């Protein structure tokens, strides 16, 4: 493909840059008015306590919808929720292909079946080391080590420049259940000087020195902890970490124990791994119904719930609510994970409940039972030295991670370090430059079954209700201002004490307003509505110290 003097290669982050999660980025090539686009990843993040009722948050694809005719496809680096979790919600409307590995394709199919999703997407399988063309882009998947099978970096080539989009990665020479990062291919990329290279790179651990420990080290520690325990051993980890589960199964086998699994997501993902041949040579994994028939010193339980999810297996076990499984004094519980920011309280609560039962709880504070899937600073330095980028754009991180990564890149002599946030447009080639807030971005909430903007979601109202409760008053007046029905009163979420009832206070306030407003004025529904609203709000505030949400319905008959 011949070069055009007006051609540009640009990158637009729509999610995941300035935050952890919700990763979605677009690459455009060509003159500005006729640019063709590919999208990399389409993930979610999870709603917290500040967003009552909202389970999932995803990037608003408005920018892509406006260019739908020029969108060529979606490429997925791997199947963690923050990289692929929004595909079935956002991508069917584009009617463009999705390129991914067999494991990611199987994960999408399982998600669709498990959640009863009608919409589907057109899947094209990609394999590491086998480049393919999408319009003017040539794309090659490159295997990288991470905490889920078949994770890939992407080499995206155009006539004027190349991009290495790392996805999530680390330099683990001894991963479990997956091939190590293809260092030789990365070094080969750096040897190619025919076109300049931009590095769009994971920043999650840019604040941490050294190199990330290997998955093999965790496997060795878990094996020792399982072998030395005299009673039951239970382990909770991320269900998607197939390598970790393999390590646990191997350790159990060496210790003469059988493995029982509990948790829907764990069964789903391990079923996929088995179908793809990732569990060959391992002993069988038993369902939870086998739990009661095994001796205490002959069992290892693997269960879901490492992030404190209330309905997951370990939470139900901790509360004593699981129908089949229990843990008792002397058993050992290993949290082979760490809490994602925002989940700490829920995880600690579960650990406390287990400790109160006499269960020995082991976490990352007690030994190396979990490792990150992201590169630390020495790993970043090695990658720079191998691929020799002309441009660095730190992504996948909050502001503090992005800033640290950018500073490291400058210290290592990368000529152009472009700091960006969601909605910026970064021109990679020619003449690298960041154009702040060039693109409209935002979020979409999955509210039950409804996909909506934050403004449409009603979350602000829910927050007000959770803070101030709700007082509802309804009454009917006739043309003479006499009350002919009501007032009826409903109070939700306000305190009731033995000393004084808020219901009585509100009723007395309503009676006082009706007495103070002359009959002629009472027949004006707007006047009476306003008077009741203000009086109730003020009186409750004077008593409670908070202004409640008040709804007044005055009807004229």
Spell out the domains of the chain, with CATH numbers in brackets: 8-210+372-452 (3.60.15.10), 215-362 (3.40.50.10710), 459-556 (3.10.20.580)
Q: How many residues does the chain have?
A: 557
DSSP secondary structure string for all residues of 170-193: B--SS-SSSPPP-HHHHHHHHH--
For strands 360-362 and 332-335, give the pairing: parallel
| Unique residue bearing structure tokens 């949400």 | 549
Q: Which helix (H) or strand (E) holds 488?
A: strand 483-492
Q: For residues 3 and 512, give the distance between their C-alpha atoms in angstroms, rounded to a whole number.
A: 81
Q: Quickly state the pLDDT bin for 499 (edges 50, 70, 90).
A: low
Q: Quickly state the pLDDT bin for 521 (edges 50, 70, 90).
A: confident
Mean model confidence pLDDT for the chain = 94
Alpha carbon of 53 to those of 276, 315, 467: distances in Å?
A: 36, 20, 15
pLDDT of 216 reads 96
Average pLDDT over residues 42-67: 91
For strands 433-435 and 425-429, give the pairing: antiparallel
Q: For residues 165 and 9, give the distance between their C-alpha atoms in angstroms, rounded to a whole number.
A: 14
- HSE, side-chain direction, 13 A CA sphere, residue 515: 6
Asked if the model's pLDDT at residue 3 lies above 70, the reply is no
pLDDT of 1 reads 52
pLDDT of 493 reads 87
pLDDT of 119 reads 85
Q: What whole-number percentage of the chain has pLDDT above 70?
A: 99
pLDDT of 474 reads 95
Average pLDDT over residues 231-257: 97
Q: Quickly state the pLDDT bin for 270 (edges 50, 70, 90).
A: very high
5-45 pLDDT, tens digit per residue, is: 789 999 999 999 999 899 999 999 999 999 999 999 999 99
Collapsing DSSP states into helix, strand and coil, what is residue 269?
helix
Q: What whole-number percentage of the chain has pLDDT above 90?
A: 81
Average pLDDT over residues 469-490: 91
Q: For residues 197 and 390, give the distance between their C-alpha atoms in angstroms, rounded to a whole number.
A: 6
Residues 6+ apart with CB under 8 A from 456: none
Q: For residues 533 and 308, give the distance between their C-alpha atoms in angstroms, rounded to a whole number.
A: 42
If one compares 448 and 90, the residue with the highest pLDDT of the two is: 90
pLDDT of 247 reads 97
Asked if the model's pLDDT at residue 497 lies above 80, the reply is no
146-163 pLDDT, tens digit per residue, is: 999 999 999 999 999 999
């Amino acid at each position: 493909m011949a070069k055009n003097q007006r051609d540009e290669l640009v990158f637009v982050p729509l999610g995941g840059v300035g935050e952890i999660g919700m990763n979605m980025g677009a690459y455009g090539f060509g003159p500005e008015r006729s640019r063709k686009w590919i999208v990399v990843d389409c993930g979610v993040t999870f709603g917290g306590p500040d967003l009552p009722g909202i389970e999932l948050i995803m990037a608003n694809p408005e920018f892509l919808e406006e260019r739908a005719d020029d969108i060529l496809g979606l490429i997925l680096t791997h199947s963690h929720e923050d990289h692929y979790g929004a595909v079935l919600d956002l991508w069917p409307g584009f009617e463009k292909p999705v390129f991914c590995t067999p494991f990611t394709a199987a994960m999408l199919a399982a998600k669709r079946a498990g959640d009863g999703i009608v919409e589907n997407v057109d899947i094209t399988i990609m394999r590491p080391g086998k480049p393919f063309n999408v319009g003017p882009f040539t794309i090659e998947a490159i295997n990288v080590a991470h905490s889920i099978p078949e994770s890939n970096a992407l080499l995206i080539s155009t006539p004027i420049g190349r991009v290495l989009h790392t996805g999530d990665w680390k330099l683990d020479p001894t991963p479990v259940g997956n091939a190590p990062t293809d260092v030789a291919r990365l070094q080969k990329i750096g040897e190619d000087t025919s076109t300049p290279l931009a590095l769009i790179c994971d920043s999650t651990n840019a604040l941490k020195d050294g190199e990330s420990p290997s998955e093999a080290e965790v496997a060795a520690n878990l094996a020792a902890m399982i072998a030395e325990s005299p009673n039951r051993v239970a382990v909770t980890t991320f269900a998607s970490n197939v390598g970790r589960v393999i390590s646990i199964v191997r350790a159990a086998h060496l210790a003469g124990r059988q493995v029982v699994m509990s948790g829907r997501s764990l069964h789903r993902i391990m079923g996929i791994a088995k179908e793809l041949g990732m569990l060959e040579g391992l002993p069988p994994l038993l369902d939870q119904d086998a739990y009661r028939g095994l001796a205490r010193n002959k069992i290892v339980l693997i269960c879901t719930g490492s992030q404190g999810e209330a309905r997951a297996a370990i939470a139900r076990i901790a509360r004593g609510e699981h129908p089949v499984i229990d843990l008792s004094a002397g058993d050992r519980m290993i949290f082979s994970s760490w809490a994602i920011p925002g989940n700490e309280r829920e995880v600690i609560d579960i650990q406390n409940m287990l400790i109160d039962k006499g269960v020995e709880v082991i976490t990352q504070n007690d030994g190396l039972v979990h490792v990150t899937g992201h590169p630390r600073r020495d790993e970043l330095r090695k990658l720079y030295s191998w691929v020799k980028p002309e441009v660095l754009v730190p992504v996948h991180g909050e502001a503090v991670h992005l800033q640290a990564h950018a500073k490291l890149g400058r210290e290592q002599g990368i000529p152009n370090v472009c700091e960006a946030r969601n909605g910026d447009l970064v021109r990679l080639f020619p003449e690298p430059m960041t154009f702040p807030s060039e693109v409209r971005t935002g979020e979409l909430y999955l509210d039950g079954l409804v996909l909506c903007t934050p403004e449409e979601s009603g979350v602000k109202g829910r927050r007000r209700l959770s803070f101030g409760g709700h007082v509802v008053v309804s009454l009917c007046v006739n043309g003479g201002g006499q009350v002919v029905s009501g007032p009826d009163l409903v109070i939700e979420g306000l305190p009731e004490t033995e000393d004084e009832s808020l219901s009585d206070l509100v009723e007395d306030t309503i009676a006082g307003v009706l007495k103070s407003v002359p009959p002629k004025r009472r027949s004006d529904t707007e006047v009476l509505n306003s008077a009741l609203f203000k009086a109730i709000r003020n009186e409750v505030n004077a008593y409670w110290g908070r202004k409640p949400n008040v709804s007044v319905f005055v009807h004229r008959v």
